[in-house]
Each structure stands twice: as C-alpha cells, then as structure tokens.
C-alpha cells in the first residue's frame, strides 16, 4: 500500500542528481504527495553524506520545525571539489505521518580548483572546423571518471568514437570575456583498459563566427579547447589528463559552420574513426598552447541545449517559381536531419525559410543576411545521414535547391532544438483559435530559448534583447521551468552591467560603440524585473540577494539621469516599440518616451524597495519607498492634467499608468474608461506595441473590464492576436501586420514570424482566464490564488502548472443552464484562496457536500464566494447568477457618430 505521505522530485539547485555544481551552499527543494486533503509539512530534516550508506555525514540539519520545502540551504562542512554528496530528506506532516525521500545526490565540479590543463588552439589557417585529439592510457580498474571541458567557440566531444553527452551548442553563450561555462560529463562507461582517445570538433559559434552586423571574431580570433579528465581508480589513486601541446590537430569535413549561415560539409573528407584508438594521426599537426585566462571559467549554470523533439515534413510543395519545398507544418528552430543515397560528389543543398510569399513562392528576404543554408557533398557509400552541429535555422519551409535522387518525405526530419527546460504549464479553453495561440506562444518560447532568450531565431540578429525577455518572462515561467535558464542569463546581465549602472540593450552585449552603452526603459529594466519575476514564480529569494547590488545600481543610474531624480525624460529609448500608433516611418509608438521611461522607473523602484524589505535592507527600503512615492507624484503632475485626464492620448499610456499604479485613486475610473473608449473608437482593437501589449488585458480585467479584455483576445480581424492565427501562424509574429489582409508582407525589413514579445498575453491566459495566480507575500505558489475571469464568450478554460510545490490545476466550465463547475487542485504544503465567480452563499456544493459543511473560511461579496483552503482536489458546482457573467461588448461596425 502506498504510504500516506511521499517525498518526490528532490532537487539540488533545481536539478535532479546533477554533476558539476560549483555552489558553496547549494539549496534543496522537494515536493510532497498525499491523498489526504490539508496536508502540510510540519518539520523536515536533510542529511548529507559522502557515501551512499550515510556513514560519513557532512551535514545533518536535525529535525527543523518548519514548513519550508523549497530552497533549503546547505549548512554543513565545507564542500570538496569533484565529490559526490548523497542526501536524503525526512518530512513530518500535520497528520502524524513521517517519511524519507529516496537517496539522491549532487556532485561538485572543480569548485575553484585551478585548472592544470592548458588552453590549446588548432593553429590552422582554414574556415573548416578543426578536429583535435589525444590518446591516454588506462591500466588500472576505474572507479569513476569525469571530464571537465570548455572551449573558445563551440565544441563537440568524442571519446573512443562515441559522442559524449547530448548537450548541443556547448559551452553555451555567455559574456565570454567575463564568464565562460565549463561542462562536466560522467565518462566512466566510455573508458576501456589500454589506449583511449578523447577528441573534439570545434566550431566558430557565437565566439568568433560571423555575428551581428557581419562582424567576425566578436570575442577573439582563435578557437581553443580546454579539458581535463579525472580518472579515479578502484585502488584509490587518480590520474589527470588534460589538453596540452601533445594534442593533434587536423581539418575536419565541416568546411564552414556559422550560426546564421548554416553548414557546408564534405562527407568525402570525413576522417573515419578519428576519435578511436586504432586511428593513426601521423599526418596531423600538433596543437598550440594558447595563453588565455582561466579565471573567468564557471560551472555550467543554465540548462543544456538539446535536440528535444522531431517533426516530420507534412508535404512537398512545387512553387509557382518551380522551387521544390518541404513544408514542416510548424515554424520551428533547429535543423533538418536528412538521408541521401548517391554516388560520391553529389550535393544536397537546403535553404530554410519561415514563410511562403503571397504567390506561394519560397521567401527569404526577411532573413536579411542570414543564409540558413546547408550544403552537403555525398561520400557515395550507400545511405548517408547528416545533420549539422554548430548552426541552427528558424524555418517551416525548406527549399531543396539540390537533392540527388527521388525526394521522399521520409528522408527528412525536423530536429527541434532548445534549452532543455521542463514543461510546467498547459492552457486550453473552448475556443480553438485561442488554443492555437497558446501553441504558438509555446513554439515561440521553444524557438527563442536556445541558451539565451533571443528576439528571433532566424534573421541575422538572434540576440539577447533585454526588452523582449523582460515582457515575456512571466509567460515563460508558466510554460516551462525557466529558473535556471534565466538565472544563467541574469548572470550575464549583471556581468555586462556598465560601471554607471546602466544595462545594455542586448545581453551578451555584442554591440559596438556608441550603441553598446545605450539604455532604454522597458529594455534595461530587465535587470530589476527579471530577478523579481524569478523570485515570485519560484520563491527563490537567493536570486534577489545575488542581484540586489545590480538592481540597485540600475535604479541609481536612472536616479542619476532623471530630472530632479524623479522624471526620466532624457535618453533615446525604444518606447512602445512597434505600436500601431507610431508615426510614419517610425517603429516607436506614439506614447511619449518620457512617460514610458518614468512609468518604468516607478515600477523598478517599487520592486527595489520590496526587495530591500525582503533582504532586510531597512535604510534602502525606506529610501526607495520615498523615492517611489516622489516618482509617482512627479508622474501625476507631469502626465495628468489637473482635472485628472491623462494627457497622452494613447492606449499604452493608460495601460502603463494603471498597471504600475501611477494613477491617483480618484482618477482610476476615468483612466480605465478612457482606455475602453480608445479601444471602442478603434473598433475594439489594440494599437499597443511591445510595452503596452503585455499588460493590456491585465489592466482591463483587474479594473472590472474583463469583457473588453475578452473582446480583444477573441478578435480575429486585424490587428489582434488571433488575426495571425487565422492567417495560419504557428508562432508569434514580430508585427501585428507581418502578413497583411491581402497576403502581402509588412516589409522585408525586420519582419520576423517567430518573435515571442506579443506572446506575453499567455500570462493573462493563465492568470486571468484560467485564474492561477500567486500571492506575492508567499511567492513560488506557497499561497495560491484561484480566481478565473468568467465570460460568456468561453464555455470552459483550464490550466495546469507544475509549481515548486507540485501540480496546481484550475478548470472552470459553464453548463447550459448557467451552472458553473470549478475543479481545482492544490498541492500539499500550500494554501489557496479560491474565488467562485458569481456564486451565492447556499448554492455551492463541493464534491456533493454543501460548502458550509467544509472546514473553510467563506466570504461572500459581489464578485462571488471566496474560500480559503489547503491541499487537495476540489470540485465546486453552483448555479451562477447568470446575468452577472459578463458578455463581450457587441461588435460594432461603425461608431454612432460615424
Ligand atoms: C529586435 C527587437 C528588439 C528591438 C529593439 C529589434 O531588432 O528584433 O525585438 O527588442 O530591435 O528595439
């Protein structure tokens, strides 16, 4: 029989049994499972040892009377490098149950040990990707072996003819000159007694490939490898083999490899068995030692990029122009794996595009200079299978420029590649177009979360634009477990922060002067907003302490440039980027940039004050509270008329004022009414850009106008979220009018069809439509708020979120007669405040029982009944006050005065 209480998903630093953790005081989290309701943890104990039988204990927390089950910090003996620590957790609940977790482990990496290996560089004058190899000998019985490895450029590692690990694009993209990640692999099972071979293929990647503005060598002009193999023998002795001048080097068959441009591969040049012991490297050259610092090398922080799924092409298209094109049915990011059978010297040439033009022809103009081209030359020895390594493409369509033999769909597969984040959220509702929108949002996240959060994955950009990440972060935290992904990138945000506290527009910062020092509201603010978002969604206060100095420096930067320290009315700024009220020829929306900048200034100052409070920085807290108050006053004086009208007549000005609470209470209603009027005047359509759009539906539903928010969400004509869905989008477009009504494109300039920014509405789907919200005072969903916004436009909606505490579910359904059903799941060790919209006391049952018979706190007000409860699954049914459920505003073709 299953026990009444179980501990699952025990993690160290968010990971299950990780290797290479260089954190001095790692944190542990676990989840509880129980069939009973109202289960809480009343105490925990963590025991850590260096052996699996726990004889050698290095930390025993003892029984701690606490309900803390996430981010419990290690407080034991000083951790040693390259050591496996076993740990287990014991938990007591509020019902006299007690249990142990299974034994799990984490392993430290080099943990500050000096690298004994040397950086080596191939020293070849070629664009071909070099191969580097060496042999080493094992003569004793091996207990365990690890390899620690990094590169300047990208590397793929092989041991005795086998690829090591399944991570791609290693060592990842960071601000290389300040932070360079190394990876740790367990290679115990790769070794054999006698001669072993370790080898690496290197690619230019982000380090020295052709990058932003066509520049090469952004970080350096030499590829290099650094690796260290530690072999521990059964007899207790150890050997270390590292990169040194004895390594051998040769050109490999990848003749060209570039992130934007693709790969050229000549299979005839493949060196068969090059990383095996029976291969002779007599004609190879020796590697050269490279003097390059090792002090900025850090353990892998993010999640590895991997090939996550495979999709098959759905059809072969012959375009009017005569092109042969494969349609993968989905705008995706990764590459094509293909097979081919031909005599030696034939070519397969693939070009990748996101979209076909109006006439159905292959369209690549929006890729700008990115070539996205794979050129493969056959070897002629039967069936050959190829997929690239150090490049990725954003595409739905693949033109077969050359392909020998008959084209069969079966010979092609789309390999979807992104950072390997656990899927944590789902959303669905009764409207299929909205469901497709949700799918598109998720695909936008997959395509743009490839080691760093990018703006787009296809054209010659693919940069870590701070604004895009900032607006999408909250949505991203629903769909997938982004904690480590963002933590790693935030490390670079901090590393790239300028001395004056300013934060660059893209991270890693690849811009050259003067753009590399521009600051823009809504973009640079990521330095404050993102740590706060991670704190809220994952309950991780450590992220705030790690970034507090950086957050404060950024706010201080603004204070330094702001007029009277309160009005941020200087600087370039992107404003409400791509808003539809932009003037002719401009990308910047009509909302005054001073208003946008000051609004964000208030917002980040408020976050800083709250963070100061959490971190017990009392003086700072008081200072920034006051500063925040003064900014809000200044905002009101500057941007509101004395009678309480917002002078800037744009949707976004109203959205930001409401969202960031910059409105005097007596002017709130007028501000919301004016926003609604603007929307109505625009035939119930938005005009907002990057900064207004994410909050538009939120401010409406929070201010009693969920009906209008639904109206915007469900609109299918231009401009709207569903307009692009009806145009066949399978990802989120950069522009509302990426494809116009007549099928023509907005422009070839800057027209990405995989840009997640407008997908930030996903956050509203989860938080308002399905109603899964967190309580800021108990973040990480320790206290959950369930309050769906019902509307007659949908008959049901549901969302799930695998939180740090376990699975949260909310599903509502309206029956024809007006009955409402709300099914909710709350994980153990959390509480929830649940609102049953439009319910009346006396009419509600929960799993067949009257509500009053349950041990709940019940409150009734105009919005419905609110109950407070703890873990369990609950099924509420009630006859709703049907007339209260809002309907979406009627469609109007013309305004009355027209
Ligand atoms: C990017 C955007 C980015 C913007 C900055 C564009 O080129 O694709 O998404 O935020 O520049 O204004």
pLDDT exceeds 50 at position 895:
no
Whether 468 is in the pocket of ligand 1, judged by its Cβ within 6 Å, is yes
Q: What is the average pLDDT across 563-587?
A: 95
Residue 190: DSSP 8-state: G
Active site residue 556: no
Q: Are 241 and 231 in contact (CB under 8 A)?
A: yes
pLDDT band of residue 727 (cuts 50, 70, 90) is very high
Residue nearest to atom 11 of ligand 1 (CA): 465
pLDDT band of residue 206 (cuts 50, 70, 90) is very high
The best mutation among 455, 510, 518, 755 to test binding of ligand 1, ranked by most ligand atoms within 8 Å of the C-beta, falls on 455
Q: Range of 133's domain?
A: 120-302
Q: b/e for 152-164, b at 16 or more Cβ within 10 A?
A: bbbbbbbbbbeeb
If phi > 0 it is left, if psi is from -120 to 50 it is alpha, else beta; for residue 499 that is alpha
Whether 182 is in the pocket of ligand 1, judged by its Cβ within 6 Å, is no
Mapped onto helix, strand or coil, the DSSP state of residue 240 is strand
Short-list 418, 504, 462, CA closest to 210: 462
Report the alpha-carbon distance of residue 396 to residue 353 in Å, rounded. 6
Is 337 within the bounds of a domain?
Answer: yes
Q: Are 393 and 278 in contact (CB under 8 A)?
A: no
pLDDT band of residue 888 (cuts 50, 70, 90) is confident
Is 886 within the bounds of a domain?
Answer: no
Domain count, the chain: 5
Whether 578 is in the pocket of ligand 1, judged by its Cβ within 6 Å, is no
pLDDT at 822: 97
Same domain for 218 and 283: yes
Whether 582 is in the pocket of ligand 1, judged by its Cβ within 6 Å, is no
- Ligand 1 centre and the CA of 766: distance in Å? 26
- The CATH number of residue 90's host domain is 2.60.40.10
Same domain for 791 and 743: no
Whether 465 is in the pocket of ligand 1, judged by its Cβ within 6 Å, is yes
Residue nearest to atom 9 of ligand 1 (CA): 455
Same domain for 637 and 625: yes
Of the residues 251, 354, 734, 800, which is catalytic? 734
Strand partners, 46: 89
> What tokens appear for 723 in the block?
């307009």
Report the alpha-carbon distance of residue 876 to residue 852 in Å, rounded. 12
pLDDT at 860: 82
Mean pLDDT of the chain: 95
Same domain for 750 and 789: no
Q: Which residue has the tokens 């990169």?
A: 243
pLDDT band of residue 749 (cuts 50, 70, 90) is confident
Q: Which atom of ligand 1 is nearest to the CA of 468?
A: 10
Q: b/e for 243-262, b at 16 or more Cβ within 10 A?
A: beeebbbbbbbbbbbbbbbb
Is 72 within the bounds of a domain?
Answer: yes
Same domain for 231 and 186: yes
pLDDT at 815: 84
Same domain for 433 and 415: no
Model pLDDT for residues 753-802, shown as the tens digit of each residue: 999 999 999 999 999 999 999 999 999 999 999 999 998 899 999 999 99
Q: Which atom of ligand 1 is nearest to the CA of 755?
A: 9
pLDDT exceeds 90 at position 39:
yes
> What tokens appear for 679 in the block?
């929307």
Is 113 within the bounds of a domain?
Answer: no
Whether 639 is in the pocket of ligand 1, judged by its Cβ within 6 Å, is no
Residue 116: DSSP 8-state: -
Residue nearest to atom 12 of ligand 1 (CA): 574
pLDDT exceeds 80 at position 882:
no
Model pLDDT for residues 531-541, shown as the tens digit of each residue: 999 999 999 99
Which of 740, 769, 798 corresponds to the end of one domain?
769
Report the alpha-carbon distance of residue 21 to residue 233 in Å, rounded. 22
Q: Which atom of ligand 1 is nearest to the CA of 466?
A: 10
Active site residue 354: no
The best mutation among 467, 525, 746, 760 to test binding of ligand 1, ranked by most ligand atoms within 8 Å of the C-beta, falls on 467
- Ligand 1 centre and the CA of 733: distance in Å? 13
Short-list 450, 388, 415, 444, CA closest to 170: 450
Is 115 within the bounds of a domain?
Answer: no
Is 653 within the bounds of a domain?
Answer: yes
pLDDT band of residue 3 (cuts 50, 70, 90) is confident
Residue nearest to atom 1 of ligand 1 (CA): 455
pLDDT at 513: 87
Mapped onto helix, strand or coil, the DSSP state of residue 792 is coil
Q: What is the average pLDDT across 619-645?
A: 97
Other CB atoms within a 10 A radius of the CB of residue 726 amount to 13
pLDDT band of residue 2 (cuts 50, 70, 90) is low
pLDDT exceeds 80 at position 37:
yes
Which of 769, 788, 816 corresponds to the end of one domain?
769
Other CB atoms within a 10 A radius of the CB of residue 829 amount to 26
pLDDT exceeds 50 at position 597:
yes
- The CATH number of residue 659's host domain is 1.50.10.10
Q: Which residue has the tokens 């308002």?
A: 768
Q: Which residue has the tokens 């407008």?
A: 758
pLDDT at 558: 98
Q: Which residue has the tokens 């040693």?
A: 80
H or E segment to which residue 653 belongs: helix 651-659
Same domain for 128 and 32: no
pLDDT at 896: 44
pLDDT at 818: 78
Same domain for 709 and 602: yes
Pairwise pLDDT comparison (817 vs 740), residue with the higher score: 740
Mapped onto helix, strand or coil, the DSSP state of residue 149 is strand
Is 887 within the bounds of a domain?
Answer: no
Q: What is the average pLDDT across 249-270?
A: 98
Whether 758 is in the pocket of ligand 1, judged by its Cβ within 6 Å, is no
Mapped onto helix, strand or coil, the DSSP state of residue 381 is coil
Same domain for 164 and 46: no
Residue nearest to atom 8 of ligand 1 (CA): 455
Report the alpha-carbon distance of residue 41 to residue 94 in Å, rounded. 6
Report the alpha-carbon distance of residue 411 to residue 897 in Å, rounded. 61
Please state whether the peptide bond connecting residue 81 to the residue before it is cis, i.e. omega within 30 degrees of 0.
no
pLDDT at 883: 66
Same domain for 596 and 695: yes
Is 889 within the bounds of a domain?
Answer: no
Q: Which atom of ligand 1 is nearest to the CA of 455?
A: 9
Residue nearest to atom 5 of ligand 1 (CA): 574
Q: Which atom of ligand 1 is nearest to the CA of 752?
A: 8
Same domain for 288 and 196: yes
Of the residues 156, 413, 461, 798, which is catalytic? 461
- Ligand 1 centre and the CA of 462: distance in Å? 10
Same domain for 681 and 744: yes
Whether 461 is in the pocket of ligand 1, judged by its Cβ within 6 Å, is yes
Model pLDDT for residues 52-110, shown as the tens digit of each residue: 999 999 999 999 999 999 999 999 999 999 999 999 999 999 999 999 999 999 999 99
Other CB atoms within a 10 A radius of the CB of residue 426 amount to 17
pLDDT at 897: 42
Which of 382, 402, 419 corresponds to the end of one domain?
419
- The CATH number of residue 222's host domain is 2.60.120.260
pLDDT band of residue 19 (cuts 50, 70, 90) is very high
pLDDT at 890: 72
- The CATH number of residue 865's host domain is 2.60.420.10
- Ligand 1 centre and the CA of 749: distance in Å? 12
Q: Are 115 and 297 in contact (CB under 8 A)?
A: yes
H or E segment to which residue 859 belongs: strand 857-861
- Ligand 1 centre and the CA of 455: distance in Å? 7
Whether 456 is in the pocket of ligand 1, judged by its Cβ within 6 Å, is yes
């Amino acid at each position: 029989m299953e026990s009444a209480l179980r501990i699952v998903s025990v993690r160290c630093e968010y990971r299950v049994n990780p290797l290479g953790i260089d954190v001095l005081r790692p944190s542990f989290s676990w989840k509880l499972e129980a069939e009973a309701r109202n289960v809480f943890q009343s105490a925990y104990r963590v025991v850590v040892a260096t052996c699996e039988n726990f004889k050698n204990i290095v930390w025993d927390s003892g029984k701690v009377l606490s309900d803390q089950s996430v981010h419990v910090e290690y407080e034991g003996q000083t951790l040693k490098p390259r050591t496996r620590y076993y740990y287990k957790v014991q938990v007591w609940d509020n019902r006299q149950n007690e249990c142990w977790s299974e034994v799990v482990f984490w392993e430290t990496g080099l943990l500050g040990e000096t690298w004994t290996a040397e950086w080596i560089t191939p020293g070849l004058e070629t664009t071909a990707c070099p191969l580097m190899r060496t042999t080493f000998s094992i003569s004793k019985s091996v207990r365990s072996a690890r390899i620690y490895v990094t590169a300047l450029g990208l590397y793929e590692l092989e041991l005795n003819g086998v690829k090591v690990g399944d991570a791609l694009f290693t060592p990842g993209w960071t601000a290389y000159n300040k932070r360079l990640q190394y990876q740790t692999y367990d290679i115990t099972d790769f070794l054999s007694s006698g001669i072993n071979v370790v080898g690496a293929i290197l690619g230019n990647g982000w380090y020295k490939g052709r990058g932003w503005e066509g520049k090469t060598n952004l970080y350096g002009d030499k590829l290099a490898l650094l690796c260290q193999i530690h072999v521990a023998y059964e007899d207790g002795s150890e050997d270390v083999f590292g990169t040194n001048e004895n390594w051998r080097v040769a050109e490999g068959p990848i003749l060209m490899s570039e992130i934007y441009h693709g790969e050229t591969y000549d299979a005839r040049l493949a060196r068969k068995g090059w990383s095996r012991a029976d291969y002779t490297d007599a004609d190879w050259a020796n590697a050269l030692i490279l003097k390059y610092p090792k002090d900025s090398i850090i353990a892998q922080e993010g999640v590895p990029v991997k090939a996550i799924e495979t999709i098959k092409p759905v059809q072969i298209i012959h375009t009017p122009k005569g092109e042969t094109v494969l349609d993968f049915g989905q705008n995706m990011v990764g590459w094509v794996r293909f097979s081919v059978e031909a005599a030696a010297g034939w070519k397969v040439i693939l070009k990748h595009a996101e979209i076909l033009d109006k006439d159905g022809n292959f369209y690549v103009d929006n890729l700008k200079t990115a070539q996205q081209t794979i050129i493969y030359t056959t070897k002629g020895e039967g069936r050959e299978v190829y997929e690239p390594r150090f490049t990725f493409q954003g595409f739905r369509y693949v033109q077969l420029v050359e392909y020998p033999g008959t084209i069969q769909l079966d010979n092609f597969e789309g390999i979807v590649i992104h950072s390997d984040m656990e899927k944590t959220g789902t959303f669905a509702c009764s409207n299929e177009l909205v469901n497709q929108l949700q799918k598109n949002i998720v695909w936008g996240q997959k395509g743009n979360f490839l080691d760093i959060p990018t703006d787009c994955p296809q054209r010659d950009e693919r940069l870590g634009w701070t604004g895009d990440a900032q607006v999408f972060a909250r949505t991203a935290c629903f769909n997938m477990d982004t904690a480590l992904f963002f933590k790693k990138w935030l490390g670079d945000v901090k590393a790239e922060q300028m001395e004056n506290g300013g934060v660059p527009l893209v991270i890693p910062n690849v811009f050259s002067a003067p753009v590399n020092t521009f600051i823009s509201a809504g973009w640079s603010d990521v330095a404050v907003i993102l740590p706060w978002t991670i704190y809220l969604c994952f309950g991780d206060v450590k992220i705030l302490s790690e970034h507090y100095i950086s957050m404060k420096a950024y706010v201080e930067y603004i204070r330094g440039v702001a007029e009277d320290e309160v009005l941020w009315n200087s600087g370039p700024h992107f404003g409400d980027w791509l808003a539809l009220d932009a003037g002719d020829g401009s990308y910047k929306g009509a909302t005054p940039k001073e208003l946008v900048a000051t609004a964000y200034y208030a917002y980040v100052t408020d976050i800083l004050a709250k963070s100061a409070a959490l971190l017990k920085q009392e003086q700072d807290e008081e200072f920034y509270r006051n500063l925040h108050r003064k900014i809000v006053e200044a905002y009101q004086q500057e941007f509101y008329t004395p009678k309480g009208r917002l002078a800037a007549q744009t949707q976004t000005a109203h959205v930001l004022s409401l969202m960031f609470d910059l409105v005097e209470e007596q002017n709130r209603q007028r501000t919301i009414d004016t926003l609604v009027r603007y929307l109505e005047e625009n035939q119930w359509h938005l005009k907002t850009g990057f900064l207004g759009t994410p909050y538009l539906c939120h401010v409406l539903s929070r201010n009693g106008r969920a009906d209008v928010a639904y109206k915007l969400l469900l609109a299918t004509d231009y401009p709207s979220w569903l307009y692009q869905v009806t145009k066949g989008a399978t990802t989120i477009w950069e522009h509302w009018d990426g494809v116009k009504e007549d099928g023509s494109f907005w422009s070839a300039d800057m027209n990405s069809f995989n840009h997640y920014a407008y997908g930030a509405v996903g956050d509203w789907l989860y938080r308002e439509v399905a109603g899964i919200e967190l309580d800021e005072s108990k973040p990480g969903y320790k206290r959950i708020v369930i309050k769906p916004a019902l509307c007659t436009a949908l008959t049901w909606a549901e969302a799930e979120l695998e939180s740090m505490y376990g699975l949260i579910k909310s599903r509502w359904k309206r029956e024809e007669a007006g009955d409402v059903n709300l099914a909710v799941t709350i994980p153990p060790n959390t509480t929830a405040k649940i609102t049953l919209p439009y319910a009346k006391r006396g009419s509600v049952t929960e799993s067949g029982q009257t509500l009053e018979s349950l041990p709940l706190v019940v409150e009734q007000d105009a919005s419905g009944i609110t109950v407070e409860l703890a873990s369990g699954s609950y099924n509420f049914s009630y006859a709703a006050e049907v007339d209260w459920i809002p309907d979406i505003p009627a469609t109007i073709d013309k305004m009355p005065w027209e």
